[in-house]
Amino acid sequence: MARRPVEASFEAAPNIALVKYWGVRDEALGLPYNSSLSVTLNRLRTRTTVRFDPKLSSDRFLLDGEAQSGGPLTSVSGFLDTVRAIARFETHALVRSTNNFQTASGLASSASGFAALAGAASLAAGLHLSPADLSRLARLGSGSASRSLFGGFVEWRAGTRSDGRDCFARPLHPPSHWPSLVDLVAIIADAPTKPVRSSVAMQRTVATSPTYAQRQRELPRRLRAMKRAIAVRDAPTLFDLTMEECDSFRNVCETTVPTLDYLVPASRAVLADVRAANEENGTTLAGYTHDAGAHVHVFTLQRHAGTLRRRLARIHGVAKVLALSPGRGARPIRRWRA
Ligand code: ADP
Ligand code: DP6
């Protein structure tokens, strides 16, 4: 690597999983037990600048202006070690990043964070990786980050190889595929910060949940049905499958020993309200889902979004409701300072 500092910046958005990734067959390589499917979102974003600087004696990581230590710094530095090994140099880096939404609360900051880091670090290291290689690289930082490289509707294939060569994400449809689809995100006031990262929690589920094996058997059928519903824009079927999958994910979390309970009463009130709205209308006009956190995503169509948004905003403990759409994939940005 050159004696002068080299720098690059990247932007990436979080994604919300419609079919969840929860459990790895290889922890070092981050190889999941099942394929997953997600929607990359607009409006929420991470921006990251990586600067490799020969003057630094160790890596530094500033998140939203604050110097990080412990787990977050270790994860970033470990990730940079992989990039340095590929690029064959040892220079340390200053990483500056901002998330324009709450970190570690179930809104997938690790997905946008490691997708942006993969892009910025590989560019600054002079690597020009293909989209599939970038996705494989991002996967090593956070599984869900492999999907945030791409916009719109994205599938991350579990693959079968032990070296992970066939384990990366690919775009299924661009953001413009379904313009009337809306994701209303009920932001829960005082959503707790997660005590452990999802990658740690999911392995507890694999080891202890008595219903995990049954969930794994159900997933291929659900994934196929969901891909069909998205391809033909069949909203009621997609929303029903989204809730079925979310309930299955929550079930394996709740049956983990000790239990994993990511929801708070306001989150549960949102789920109940979506069920009630569907019941009242006699048709499935919305479908809820959540990741490992208290915030709840409610998918619906543009024509129902206004009414539903007002309804959800009235729930006690819901701070606000964001109206998001499928968004763009990760991309380089011009020099930018956190
Ligand atoms: P979330 O639901 O937000 O993904 P997790 O607990 O799974 O929550 O992941 C949060 C962790 O992801 C943080 O503690 C930090 O280690 C990492 N992270 C979050 N944002 C960034 C970022 N912008 N750059 C690098 N790492 C990040
Ligand atoms: C419930 O990929 O975020 O959101 O490696 O700890 O960052 P870390 O795990 P992560 O786990 C995602 C779990 C999930 C489901 C999903 O996004 O598929």
Q: Are residues 19 and 117 in the same domain?
A: yes
Identify whether residues 195 and 103 lie together within a single domain: no
With respect to residue 334, please indicate whether it lies within any of the assigned structural domains.
Answer: no
pLDDT at 114 over 90: yes
Looking at the CA of 139, name the nearest ligand.
Answer: 2
Question: What is the whole-number distance in angstroms between the Cα of residue 37 and the centre of ligand 2?
Answer: 12
Residue 338: is its pLDDT beyond 60?
Answer: no
Q: Residue 105: which pLDDT band, with cuts at 50, 70 and 90?
A: confident
Residue 164 lies in a domain: yes
Number of compact structural domains in the chain: 2
Ligand 2 atom nearest to CA at 142: 5
Residue of 19, 21, 40, 168 with the most ligand 2 atoms within 8 Å of its CB, for mutation: 21
Tell me, yes or no, whether 127 and 252 share the same domain: no
Domain extent at residue 252:
181-324
Instruction: Write the pLDDT tens digit of every residue in 27-85.
Output: 999 999 999 999 999 999 999 999 999 999 999 999 999 999 999 999 999 999 999 99
pLDDT given at position 154? 98
Query: Is residue 333 assigned to a domain?
Result: no
163 shares a domain with 236 = no
Please indicate, yes or no, whether residues 161 and 209 belong to a single structural domain of this protein: no
pTM: 0.96
Q: Does one domain contain both 20 and 144?
A: yes
Counting every residue, how long is the chain? 338
Q: What's the pLDDT score for residue 171? A: 98
Residues 271-327 pLDDT 10s: 999 999 999 999 999 999 999 999 999 999 999 999 999 999 999 999 999 999 999
Question: Does 237 lie in the same domain as 142?
Answer: no
Indicate the residue among 174, 192, 221 that finishes a domain. Answer: 174
CATH of the domain at 97: 3.30.230.10
289 CB under 6 A from ligand 2? no
Residue 320 lies in a domain: yes
Do 297 and 164 belong together in one domain? no
Please tell me whether residues 226 and 309 are part of one structural domain: yes
Mark which of 174, 205, 221 sits at the end of a domain.
174
Give the Cα separation of 112 and 118 in Å (integer): 10
Residue 336 has pLDDT above 60, yes or no: no
Cβ contact 107:101 at 8 Å: yes
Please state, in angstroms and rounded to a whole number, the distance separating the CA atoms of residues 184 and 219: 25
Q: How far apart are CA 98 and CA 143, in angstroms?
A: 20
Residues 116 and 67 in one domain: yes
Tell me the pLDDT tens digit for each residue of 134-152: 999 999 999 999 999 999 9
pLDDT at 213 over 60: yes
Both 280 and 204 in one domain: the answer is yes
* Average pLDDT score over residue span 158-180: 98
Ligand 2 centroid – CA 198 distance (Å):
5
pLDDT-derived band at 169, boundaries 50, 70, 90? very high
**CA of 291, nearest ligand number:** 2
> Is residue 244 included in any domain, yes or no?
yes
Nearest CA to ligand 1 atom 22: 113
- My answer on whether 266 and 142 are in the same domain is no
Atom 14 of ligand 1 has which residue's CA nearest to it? Answer: 72
Q: Across residues 192-202, what is the average pLDDT?
A: 90
Residue-averaged pLDDT of the chain:
96
| Predicted local confidence at residue 223, as pLDDT | 98
Among 142, 144, 153, which is best to mutate for testing ligand 2, by the most ligand atoms less than 8 A from CB? 144
| Residue 104: per-residue pLDDT | 87
Of the residues 157, 174, 191, the one at which a domain ends? 174
Q: How far is the CA of 16 from the centre of ligand 2 (A)?
A: 9
Mean pLDDT over 6-11 rounds to 96
Q: Is residue 331 part of a domain?
A: no
